């Protein structure tokens, strides 16, 4: 019985450890982001079509993690200004969702 208990708390500790490791991969400002919504908004707003027209590729070369966008909040601000400039009409949580998807797929900032 003592052994079973021991194994159970060892498992719980392991799960907790994994949980915090996964969270460390996501910058705080993107933690509550709705990734499904972000993916949908990126598709609907033709982000890649416009970028592709200017960069003559699939539209992903524009996302340059080593460029001047070098923090999660800089990324979110960039999406916010694209939103304002092009009158996309995104709500603040939409902007966060879009930025979170770009982070997951391209920028990969960890904090």
Contact residues toward ligand HEC (CB under 6 A) are: 42, 45-47, 50-51, 54, 62-64, 67, 69, 75, 78-79, 82, 86, 88, 98, 102
Nearer to ligand HEC by Cβ, of 26 and 94: the residue is: 94
Choice between 37 and 42, CB closer to ligand HEC:
42
User: What's the closest the beta carbon of residue 27 comes to ligand HEC, in angstroms?
Assistant: 15
CA atoms within 13 A on the CB side of 110: 5
Q: Which is nearer to ligand HEC, 1 or 49 (CB)?
A: 49
State how far the Cα of 88 lies from the Cα of 42, in Å rounded to an integer: 11
């Amino acid at each position: 019985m003592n052994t079973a208990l021991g194994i159970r708390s060892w498992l719980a500790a392991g799960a907790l450890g994994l949980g915090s490791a996964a969270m460390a991969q996501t910058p705080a400002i993107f933690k509550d982001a709705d990734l499904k919504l972000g993916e949908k908004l990126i598709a609907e707003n033709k982000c890649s079509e416009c970028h592709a027209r200017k960069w003559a590729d699939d539209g992903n070369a524009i996302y340059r993690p080593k460029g001047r966008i070098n923090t999660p909040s800089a990324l979110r601000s960039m999406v916010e200004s694209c939103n304002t400039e092009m009158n996309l009409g995104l709500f603040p949580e939409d902007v966060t969702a879009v930025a979170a998807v770009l982070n997951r797929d391209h920028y990969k900032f960890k904090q």
